[in-house]
Amino acid sequence: MEGYLYYPGCTLKTKASDYEESAMAVMEALGKPLVEMDDWYCCGAVQSLTTDDLMHQLAPIRTMCCAQEQGEKELVTLCDMCYNVLKQANERVRENPDDLETMNEFQDEDPDYLAEVEIYHLFQILQDMKDDIKKKIVNPLSSLRVTPYYGCMLLRPEKAAIDDTEDPSVMEELLELTGAEVIDNPKRTECCGSYHTVNRSDIVEKRVKEIVGRAVEDGADVIVLSCPLCQFNLEYHQRTTEFEVPVLYLTELLALAFGISVGMKKHKIDPIKKFKEKDILE
């Protein structure tokens, strides 16, 4: 395959379409297009952690089986939660071949999953393309102060970590390529409150106040991340604060620096206003 086989998951097709559009455009510009899988299933969003619950491992395993049947050994995700669920499910069946056998027997009309597909998050692919990225920058973001936010699912648990669990740097390295000033945020690996946004929004509001508050204190113009749930939480719950900090997908910033007009349509806090203020957009 010329580019990479890509697993979208549910949210990338709807609420987080800005992320999908911008990631597709960036990878196309880099000559490694993302090619959506012929068939896929919702991953289940959170990893099922009990030893006896194989039923909730089936969806990620079936998706990885679809990649296998397309003849691919590498599968790329954009959403942090999808990445984490697929990665943990894959590692689990590698460590417990009996579980895999049980699931393969249950799925008797599908081919057996051989656990040979590798799961990657887009940042791992971009990390290996820094020279190519540098060459594509036509609109340096030198007037912009950005702060990365990793959240949980790229870094924990250890077997799913794409970087150092306590001191990651992949986002900082990618952001520096855009010419933006990267600001350290000590809250960057703390949980945003995750699914509590559904029925305990008070918990998420407190987290957002701390995380965004720190970014504001340190003078960040925008927060950058890749998880659609963190993106929703950090933007939506700012309505209970005095803050107004746009929260962007890293690929939206890359596209901007590449001079590609894409994404930035579904934000609760308009990033375009900020970019005009900073003379990045006309």
Task: Please identify, using beta-carbon distances, which residue of 132 and 270 lies nearer to other proteins.
Answer: 270
For residue 224, the cross-strand partners are: 148, 248
End-to-end CA distance of the chain: 38
Q: How do the residues of the chain divide into helix, strand and coil, expressed in percent and rounded to 5?
A: 45, 10, 45
Single residue of 47, 63, 185, 238 touching other proteins by CB under 8 A? 47
Confirm or reject binding of residue 53 to other proteins (CB under 8 A).
yes
190, 209, 213, 278: which one contacts other proteins (CB under 8 A)?
A: 190
Q: Which is nearer to other proteins, 61 or 152 (CB)?
A: 152
For 26-40, give one letter per residue: b (16+ CB within 10 A) or e: bbebbebebbebeeb
Q: Are the C-beta atoms of residues 26 and 84 closer than 8 Å to each other?
A: no
CB of 117 to other proteins, least distance (A): 22
| Using rule CB under 8 A, residue 152 touches other proteins | yes
Residue 157 sits in the site that holds other proteins (CB under 8 A): yes
What are the tokens at 203? 């918990």
Name residues contacting other proteins, limited to 222-251 (CB under 8 A).
Answer: 228-229, 232, 236
Contact region with other proteins (CB under 8 A), list: 102-110, 116-124, 168-176, 198-206: 198-206
Q: What region does 133 belong to: left with phi over 0, alpha with psi -120 to 50, or beta?
A: alpha
Among the listed residues 5, 81, 141, 280, the single contact to other proteins using CB under 8 A: 81
Q: Do the strands 222-225 and 247-249 form a parallel or antiparallel pair, or are they unpaired? A: parallel
Bridge partners for 204 per DSSP:
none
Query: What does the binding site for other proteins look like in residue numbers (CB under 8 A)?
Result: 9-11, 14-16, 42, 44-53, 56, 79, 81-82, 152, 155-158, 165-166, 190-191, 193-200, 203, 206-207, 228-229, 232, 236
